[in-house]
Amino acid sequence: MTVGDTERREEVRQRYANSALAVSDACCGTSSCVTGEEYSSDELSSLPQGASAASLGCGNPTAVAELREGETVLDLGSGGGIDVILSARRVGATGFAYGLDMTDEMLELARRNAAEANLDNIEFLKGLIEEVPLDDQSVDVVISNCVINLSVDKPSVFAEMFRVIRSGGRIGITDIVADDALTPDQRAERGDWVGCIAGALSVSEYRSGLDQAGFVDVTLTPTHSVADGLDSMIVRAFKPS
Domains of the chain and CATH, by start: 3-238 (3.40.50.150)
pLDDT for residue 48: 55
Amino acid at site 201 = L
Per-residue pLDDT for 154 more than 80?
Answer: yes
- In this predicted structure, what is the pLDDT of residue 63? 72
Outline where DSSP puts E strands in the chain: 72-76, 96-101, 122-126, 139-145, 165-178, 216-227, 230-238
Three-state DSSP class for residue 227: strand
Are 53 and 110 spatial neighbours (Cβ–Cβ below 8 Å)? no
Q: Are 76 and 99 in contact (CB under 8 A)?
A: no
- Of the two residues 35 and 237, the one the predictor is more confident about is 237
Parallel, antiparallel, or unpaired: how do β-strands 72-76 and 139-145 relate?
parallel
With vertex at residue 115, the alpha carbon angle to CA 54 and CA 175, rounded to the nearest 5 degrees, is: 35
Distance between CA atoms of 214 and 160, rounded to whole angstroms?
A: 11
CA distances from 54 to 16, 113, 153, 185 (A): 10, 10, 25, 30
pTM of the model: 0.82
E strands, 133-204, in order: 139-145, 165-178
The H or E element spanning position 106 is helix 104-117
Specify the amino acid at residue 193.
W
Alpha carbons 41 and 10: distance in angstroms, whole number? 34
pLDDT tens per residue across span 184-226: 999 999 887 777 888 999 999 999 999 999 999 999 999 999 9
At 29-85, the pLDDT tens digits run 333 343 334 655 555 555 555 444 444 556 677 777 889 999 999 999 998 898 999
Whether the pLDDT of residue 24 is over 50: the answer is no
Non-local CB neighbours of 11 within 8 Å, separated by 6+ positions? 193, 194
3-class SS of residue 207: helix
User: What amino acid is encoded at 151 in this protein?
Assistant: S
